[in-house]
Amino acid sequence: MPLPSPFPEGWFFVASRKELMKARLIEKTWMGENIVAWIDDDGEVCVSRAYCPHLGADLRPSVGGTVCEGRLVCPFHGYEFDTSGQCVKTPYAPAPKTAKLGVFPTHEIAGLIFAWWGIDGREPQWPLPEESPDQTDWTGLKIRTIRFPGHPQETTENSVDLAHLRYVHGYDNVKRVGRFTVDGHVLVSDFDFRSVRKLGRFGFLTFDISALTRIYGLGYSYVKIRERSVGIDMRLWILATPVDGTLIDFSIVSQVKEMRKPKRWLPGLAFLPTRFRAPLMNSFTSLQQLHDVRQDLVIWANKEYRSRPRLCRSDGEVMPFRYYCAQFYPDTGDSVTPVRAARNGAQTMETVEAG
C-alpha cells in the first residue's frame, strides 16, 4: 500500500540563520525543488526556486549564482534580485517590474528558518507558532541532520506511537499522562517515560522524563522536555524535510537550560562550572537523540506502509494521527506521486551544526 504524496503541504525547515550568515547563499533540493536561500545585509532572508525569471538560468551557487551587496545575482545576464524576490537591477537596462523570483513564504523560530510549501504553489493555509521561545539562560542550538529514505508522516507517527518507545528504545513506564488533542493543524501529545542511559565512563543514569509534544504539520514537531529527578529543561525540534521524493533530511535540534541548582548531581557534573553544564548536557542529549533515530531508522527503512493497520486496544492514537495527517494532502489529482522508500541497506548521511 503506497504512502500518500512524499510532499505533504506545510512548513518545512530550510536552514538556520547561523548557517545562512556564514554561507550567505546556499542551495538545496527541498520538497522536490531546487531552491536557493540567502540573507542580505539587514538580515532579511529569502528562500526561492533556483531559476531566473529572465531566461531561466540556474541561480545555485554551484553553477555561478552569487550574492552581491545582499542581492542575488544571476550568472547568465546579471539580473539582481532583492530578498522580496523582485529584480531591482540589470547591468544594461531598467529592471523589468515583472521579473520576480518564485519565492516561498518564510517564518523563523529561534533562528530556524522554515518555508511554506503549498500544493500547486498556494499560499500558507495555517501558521507556525508566532512566538520564538525565550533564549535567555538557554544554550545555543545543536543541529544534527541525518539523510535517509523515508517519509515525514512515518517519522512523525513516532510521537503518538507510544508502544514502540519500550520495544525499540527500551524506555520504561511509558504513560500518557497529559493530553492528546487535535485542533486543526496542531496536534498535542504529552507523555512520561523513564530512560536508563550510559553516560560514558560514569556508568548508568536514570532519567524521568515528561515530554510535551506540539506538532504543526509533518515538517515541524516541537518537544518540551522536563527531566524531573535532576531538574533539567530541554527543548527539541524534530524537523523532517522531504528532499526529492525518496530521501528526507531529518534534523534533530536541541538546547538545554542552564543548570544552576540541580535536584541531584549527575556524576562529573558537579565539578563543572555552571556555564559548561548545559552545553555538555546538550551534546549528550543530541547524541542520545541520534542514537534513538538510528534505532528507528532500521525499522523505517525496511517497513511497509499499512494504510489500514491492524491495531490493538492500547495503540490508541495511531488512527487519530492518520486522520490529522489527511489535511496535509488536499485533493491533488495527478500531482500525487506515490512513493516507496528504498528498502534494505538505506544510505544515510550526517551533518552537525554546533550549538
C-alpha cell at 286: 543530541
Based on CB atoms, which residue is closest to Fe ion, 160 or 247?
Answer: 160
What are the CA-CA distances from residue 195 to residues 14, 169, 204 (Å)? 32, 9, 10
Q: How far is the CB of 64 from ligand FES (least distance, A)?
A: 10
Which of Fe ion, ligand FES, none has residue 12 at its interface (CB below 5 to 8 Å by kind)?
none
Task: Return the residues of window 299-338 that contact Fe ion according to CB under 5 A.
Answer: none
194 counts as binding ligand FES under rule CB under 6 A: no
Cβ contact 105:126 at 8 Å: no
- Non-local (6+) Cβ contacts of 143 within 8 A are 16, 251, 252, 253, 352, 353, 355
Work out how close the CB of 165 gets to Fe ion at its nearest, in angstroms, rounded to a whole number. Answer: 7
Query: Any idea which residue has 523505517 for its cell?
Result: 300
User: Which CB, 99 or 287, lies closer to Fe ion?
Assistant: 287
> What is the phi/psi pair of residue 264, to 5°?
-140, 160
Query: Left, alpha or beta for 35 (phi > 0: left; psi -120 to 50: alpha)?
Result: beta
Residue among 63 and 177 whose Cβ is closer to ligand FES: 63
Best CA proximity match to 157, nearest among 3, 21, 345, 44: 3
Beta strand segments in 118-203, E: 142-149, 172-175, 180-183, 186-198
Instruction: Provide, rounded to whole angstroms, the least separation between the CB of residue 44 and ligand FES.
Output: 21
The CB-of-292 to Fe ion minimum distance in angstroms stands at: 6
The answer to whether the CB of 245 falls within 8 A of the CB of 150 is: no
* Pairing state between β 112-117 and 142-149: unpaired
- Minimum CB distance to Fe ion smaller for 158 or for 241: 158
Residue of the chain from 16, 155, 158, 282 that contacts Fe ion (CB under 5 A): 158
83 versus 158: smaller Cβ distance to Fe ion: 158
CB of 83 to ligand FES, least distance (A): 17
Question: Which residue in 296, 301, 325, 328 binds Fe ion (CB under 5 A)?
Answer: 296
Question: What is the spatial distance between Cα 278 and Cα 272, in angstroms, rounded to a whole number?
Answer: 10
Residue numbers 190-249 binding Fe ion by CB under 5 A: none
User: What kind and span of H or E run contains 19?
Assistant: helix 17-23
Spatial CA neighbour of 111 closest among 217, 232, 226, 237 = 237
**Binding track, positions 55-94, relative to ligand FES; x by CB under 6 A:** xxx----------------x-xxxx---------------
Name the one range near ligand FES by CB under 6 A: 54-62, 130-138, 322-330, 341-349: 54-62
Which of the stretches 15-23, 155-163, 276-284, 333-341 binds Fe ion when contact is defined by CB under 5 A?
155-163
Q: Does 52 bind ligand FES (CB under 6 A)?
A: yes
Which partner in ligand FES, Fe ion, none is near 158 (CB below 5 to 8 A by kind)?
A: Fe ion
In the complex, minimum distance from the CB of residue 58 to ligand FES, in angstroms, rounded to a whole number:
9
φ/ψ of residue 206, rounded to 5: -110, 130
Q: How far is the CB of 56 from ligand FES (least distance, A)?
A: 6
Closest distance of CB 238 from ligand FES, Å: 37
224 is a site residue for ligand FES (CB under 6 A): no
CB atoms within 10 A of CB 251: 22
Q: Give the one entry of ligand FES, Fe ion, none that residue 55 binds, where binding means its C-beta sits below a cut-off of 5 to 8 angstroms depending on kind.
A: ligand FES
Cα–Cα distance for residue pair 223/237, rounded to 1 Å: 6
Residues that bind Fe ion (CB under 5 A): 158, 296
Residues that bind ligand FES (CB under 6 A): 52, 54-57, 74, 76-79
